[in-house]
Amino acid sequence: MEQTDYEQIALSNIITARTMVMLAIIVEIIIQTVALLIEPTEWWTWQLLGFITATNLAAVIMAIFAQKSADNIGKAYSKVFTADFYYSVQVLTDFRKMVEAEAQKDGKTIHQEWGDIAPKIYGLGRKYLDARYAQDFSIPPDLNDLGIDLVDIDSIKEDELFS
């Protein structure tokens, strides 16, 4: 992803109060224009009353569901996005900026710098783990080398087991 894609994610806005007010005014202008163009009758009055009631009730129900969703999202965010999380993100951001600054000194992009560094970091880590495994997890000696003869358990008689 390009940097602008990340900026769009970070700066994304849900519908604003100003946009909602403008939308309400536009809808009102449309409804009033239609109402002025049509000769009022009892049937049209009932239709308009039903429309107003239905839209108001739907708006209230959707607002309740939206608030419940917002509460659930808020609970999840407060568990995940703690002060430690933001501090860790800041540390990683600072690290990225340092790598980017060093790359620019050499006339490289950050991606080129990581392309050079990543294989070296992997190789270093791999060699460390291989050495650590060989040190800590050495293969045990063979039982025959220790002088232990394996006997077939089925060939042992019961009185020989406890003697």
Q: What does each of the 163 residues of the chain score in pLDDT, given as a tens digit? A: 555 666 766 666 667 788 888 988 998 899 889 888 888 899 988 988 998 899 999 999 999 998 998 888 888 888 888 889 899 999 999 999 999 999 999 999 989 999 999 999 999 999 988 888 777 776 667 777 777 777 666 777 777 766 6
Based on C-alpha coordinates, what's the Rg of the chain? 36
Task: Return the H-helix or E-strand segment holding 27.
Answer: helix 17-37
Instruction: Please check whether residue 76 is in contact with residue 82, taking contact to mean a CB–CB distance below 8 angstroms.
Output: no
Instruction: Please check whether residue 136 is in contact with residue 150, taking contact to mean a CB–CB distance below 8 angstroms.
Output: no
Instruction: Indicate the DSSP class of residue 157.
Output: -
Question: Which residues, 6+ apart, have CB-to-CB distance to 114 below 8 Å?
Answer: 99
Token representation of residue 25: 């005014």
pTM, whole model, 2 decimals?
Answer: 0.44
Place of tokens 């708006």: 59
- Number of helical H runs and strand E runs in the chain: 6, 0
**Nearest CA to 14 among 81, 73, 58?**
73
H runs (alpha helix) in 38-109: 42-80, 83-105
**Nearest CA to 31 among 53, 48, 18, 54?**
48
Angle between helices 83-105 and 110-136 (to 10 degrees): 110
Q: What's the one-letter identity of residue 56?
A: N
